A and B are shown apart, each in its own frame.
Chain A
Amino acid sequence: MASSDAQEAPLKSSTYEPEYKSSFGLVVDVALRVLLFATALAAIIVMVTSEQTKMIPVAPGKLMPRTAKFNHSPAFIYFVAALSVAGLYSIITGALSALALLKSHGHSTKLQAHFVMFDALLLGIVAAATGAAGGVAYIGLKGNSHSNWNKICHIYGSYCFHFSASLILSLISSITLLLLVWLSVYVLSKKVARR
């Protein structure tokens, strides 16, 4: 869709240019929301399935099975909750954007202004989740000698691998939200400038 638009663009006369631009913005908007949904969903699934049980020596010559799960830390519970909210939000707003695209006269400005606000709020929520999970995961990876918190990632290898994958996905989610807000602000200011 986007590539065909881009090829057509030089053929159109300059009077049609504004229309083309607003629809191009909408296509990118819908694509970004789909990307947001995909990354949020994948991050949740990867995080929730990150259970690992290992035999840990608790005393000399004695092994005990210990399980590492995501809900052992409040930071990761918040992470899953925040990304679920982001996924749900992306479904709703993605549907609204797709509807506006089908109607082919673009977003109303009111909707776009609301998108800016709620996207920014969601960006805050997802960024906080990424920061919280990243902070805890970093200690799990490196440990902290000052507070005597030992690293655990050399024991729970696949658990930590799940976590890092999930963190990267949520980072992509936050960047997507950032791009969405940028896009909406840019389109809005273009619309304002055209009037």
Chain B
Amino acid sequence: MARIPSTSRRALLFGTAAVSAGALMTACTSNEPTNQEQAADNAPVADDKPGKAVTIGFAGPQADHGWLNAINDNAKSRAKKYSDVTLEITEGSNDIAQQIGQIQTLINKKVDVLVILPADGKALTQVGLQAMRAGIPVVNLDRVFASPQAYRCWIGGDNYGMGLNAGHYIGERLKDMPNAKVVELAGLDNLELTRQRTKGFDDALKNYPNIKKVARQAAEFTVESGQAKMAQLLQAQSQFDALWNHDDDQGVGALRAIDQAGRDDFLMVGGAGAKSAMDAIKADNSVLKATVLYPPTMAASAIDLARGLGQGKGVGGLAEFEIPSSLTLYSAVVTKDNVDQYLPTGFS
């Protein structure tokens, strides 16, 4: 439970910083010429120009889910962009022992920097420490290690912030409606991140006394479970005004259930940022009006950070000499108004 306060504090501390970082990342991924001019003049800043050659080791879990697959793709295509970066990517694995072995192999190969998305943050802390002691800086991606000593820099999404932003978005849309009812379709309940998302959502709704959360069911991040649980929710709640669904993958099933039940009397907000969800938002022909990002572009950013670490440079857009030790990404709300900007980052 120690993570929740720290995450929320992080969310507050980095409130403003994250906004600008988020903007920066967005700028990067949309492949516009970056605004390097704005960077502090005296700090060496990582840029697109070839520099010292860097070998980056990348270890992630098995890509059995659209989002994780997008993580791998983002990392690979980002690395390809730089002629000075060699990416050593391991076969993804959900087996903790196997992943530890893979990372140890990368350490033995003496890669310059490691980017690790652990299958389980707590369980892989030791191998993170090993790498750091061996003098290899570690960029810890998303699932955080148990000790800050196990990584040089952490970059990841904000589960609490997702819930918070989804809640705020729904709150603003329904704030003039008396006795508004909200329903939540959560993800896999065994995971801490699901509970963080729900907590953020609940905290945001507290700001709107006219809104009441009337039901919550947990699906399993799969289309099939999304369909099944949503069908039950629709049967249980004959009328409600808004729905937050934690995950766009299970959202495919949820939308299917909504379609089958012939319901369109509420607004739906998704989560994570799948391409199918963004397409639906853009088309504006379903109940899905927005989705809260948990951007897989963080993997591309992690490659940038790793390259910066390898070349001893800081991040553009900040006055700092060093790369920050922690970067929490902003869970932007994607609506019809800004969907075009995010569409390229949508994953399938």
Genuine A/B complex: no
Residues of B within 8 A of A (CB): none
Residues of A within 8 A of B (CB): none
